[in-house]
Amino acid sequence: MTAGALKGRAVKASAARARLRRLAWFGLAIVVIYGAGALALRIGTGRSDIPVLGYATVFGLADALFAVGIVLIYRASRVINFAHAAFGVVAAALFYELVSYVGFPYWVALPAAIAAAAVLAMLAELLLIRRFFTAPRLVVTVVTIGIGQLLSGLAGGVPALLGDSNFQPGQPTTPLTHFHWQAFPVVFSGDDLLLVAASLAAFTGLAVFFRTSRKGVAVRGAAENADRASLLGVNTRSLSTLVWALSGALAGLGAVLQVPIVGYSSVTAGASVGTGALLLALLAAVVAGMDDLPTAVVASVAIAVFQQVVFFIFHNTDAVDVFVLLAIVVTLLLKRRSLSRVDEASTSSWAATEEVRPIPAELASLPVVRTGVRRLAVALGLVVLGFPFVMSTSQTGLGSSFLIDGIVVISLVVLTGWGGQVSLGQWAFVAVGAVIGGGLYAETHMPFLLALLIGSLAGSVVAVILGFTALRVRGVYLAVTTLAFAVVMSNEGLKSKYLGGLIAPNINRPSLFSIRTNDDRVFYYVCLAALIAMWWAAIGLRRSRTGRVLIAMRENERGAQALGVNLVRTRLATFALSGFMAAFAGVLLAVDERGVSPYGFGADQSIQIFIAAVIGGLGSIQGALLGALYFAVVDFVIPGAVGQLLASSVGVLLVLLFLPGGLGSLAYSGRDAVLRRIAIRRRIWVPSLLPERMLLGGGTDRAPLLPRTAAAAEPAEVPFRYRLPSRVRVAGGSQKTRGWTF
């Protein structure tokens, strides 16, 4: 036998031993999970409710289908798919209608609904995700959120599309429903067994596919190193479509098989697509390092066992969300050193934001430019200041709310746009400020300005505590952590049993410097002054040394650290300032709404405000505020269902499709076009107004902004071709009147 054959046999034997060790570890993990669950039930209830563990296994495997789908897409594209559960919701709605309304046989409706989820996922990748193949992961993640919102609306419209004008939620019967038996304290049915069998079959099929088929091996190779796979001739984009289709089918399978068990209604659909349910799958995916499919399955089962044990012992699941947050933090801290270089590279793309150039120094002092800036500022001031006098009282109140949202957007620019720390839980800091500041002012009769300061500082302290996580994790992992924090805060942190009398249901408007703010117009100007103050503070921060340190840390942490930047102190200071601003807005929000409701700070609001900042543009405050303004204008001008679509899924997708840099990039492109025209007319050489492709490609010789030299007897030449927007073209009288030739 040759040396090569012996070496190959040794490699295969080593791989076989590694697989056996891996199976042994998974077997040990399963034994520990179920053993701990049985022991906890024995101690908590006084009896061994072993069937509870079987009941947990059913839902654990269903959650595992979602977790595996999330891991598959992350491995293929390095992005968290927030639309993953929504594919399952559409499949569940279609399955329920086909069985209960249209009358399709169960064994026909089941594969049809799963296939529909796979097709929807494939179309989402082809039509939307592929357009952002090279975009920062931050933008792609927002796109998946928009897709999820769109699919959620589609799921609600499935009954109408099929002609069911009198939709009635319920629990359909299947050929397996009558096979049921009771094992105290739970009842099992044939549908439970089908879910278990189908899940195990799906996982086995995936394992065989990825290990034996050419496509599966190519997917694994592309997940390890997409660039190398492309050099070897692998079409990574077609593989991405395949992975999305598989993921959609898994989501559809997990959702459809649960419909006969838990039923279907708009409430269950909303829970499935919501951030709370998605968080459990994300936790399992994070435990698996966003890379290991078997670990994701085991982690999903472990989470389900924990949920059911807690419920049967305490008859509530209040502790589950807190457990999820703690588990995510601990898992990330333990796994931080095992992140691969691919993960590090994708993390940096989460912080990619386009910086906005100021007006070039060559043009800033021109009277025409200064006059234009002044006129624009005056026009904007007249619109903002005159808003309460042309709108109704209710519309003025909405205006105050949008000004408060603007303060939260500014806090996101500081934290994410400049600091590079992704936060999907910013509204939780708003909740802290509203509860602490509003409660101190209303319940203890503390002076409003002092309560405002204390509430803002409380938000800063909470942000710093969360910021300690950012010392070890960033990007996608920090996003998951902040989202978990938002869910915990909305579900558990705002309950009266924890906060006592701090939650003030009724808050009176304060008097500021002898001026009563009960009138909505007066309070509108208070919110406007607060927004301007936060704007001014953030601009001052950006122009200071601290602001430059933030940008340096965002762009190159190791380089900044080599130059003496204290990364720990800078990160914590960024979280503190951002939390202070968000909590400041929360105190104003509590007073604006004249009370605090523990149910008014959902995690979905954190995602919505994050979307507003991203579609505006996190590179500048002005750009990000355009995102908040977009939602405000849509809400005012286009009420009803169309306005809701434009202010959520459809609007977000349209903006990012045509303006990947956000609305701010459009505004600044228009500004640069005007400045370019001014430069051309005055024959001023402004390199910063040239397209980047010309500067990088050595194409400045084609630029039309060549100044006239004093020594030249003839006017300077204007090149034959240029692509800058202006009335000056390749030839004609306009060039000759300016003294140019070509």
Structure tokens at 198: 């189908």
- Average pLDDT of 34-61? 83
The answer, yes or no, to whether residue 713 has pLDDT greater than 60, is no
* Range with lowest mean pLDDT among 176-185, 413-422, 534-543: 176-185
Q: What one-letter code names the amino acid at 62? A: A
The residue among 344 and 28 whose pLDDT is bigger is 28
| Tens digits of residue pLDDT in 584-642 | 999 999 999 888 887 778 778 888 898 888 888 887 888 888 888 888 888 777 776 66
The answer, yes or no, to whether residue 734 has pLDDT greater than 70, is no
- Average pLDDT of 152-159? 85
All structural domains of the chain, each given as residue ranges with its CATH number in brackets, are: 31-164+189-316 (1.10.3470), 317-350+403-601 (no CATH), 602-681 (no CATH), 690-737 (no CATH)
CA-wise closest residue to 70 among 95, 88, 92? 88
Give 325's pLDDT tier (boundaries 50, 70, 90): low
The residue among 353 and 403 whose pLDDT is bigger is 403
* Range with lowest mean pLDDT among 45-54, 169-178, 252-261, 582-591: 45-54
Question: d(Cα 461, Cα 472) in Å, to the nearest integer?
Answer: 19
Give 276's pLDDT tier (boundaries 50, 70, 90): low
- Give me the pLDDT at residue 663, please: 84
The residue among 189 and 344 whose pLDDT is bigger is 189
- Give me the pLDDT at residue 501, please: 66
Give 714's pLDDT tier (boundaries 50, 70, 90): very low
The answer, yes or no, to whether residue 232 has pLDDT greater than 70, is no
The residue among 329 and 390 whose pLDDT is bigger is 390
The residue among 461 and 277 whose pLDDT is bigger is 461
Question: d(Cα 348, Cα 340) in Å, to the nearest integer?
Answer: 13
Question: d(Cα 574, Cα 549) in Å, to the nearest integer?
Answer: 11
Question: d(Cα 66, Cα 567) in Å, to the nearest integer?
Answer: 36
pTM exceeding the 0.75 threshold for the entire prediction: yes
Give 197's pLDDT tier (boundaries 50, 70, 90): very high
**% of the chain with per-residue pLDDT over 90:** 19
The answer, yes or no, to whether residue 705 has pLDDT greater than 50, is no
Question: d(Cα 541, Cα 559) in Å, to the nearest integer?
Answer: 21
Structure tokens at 519: 């009138």
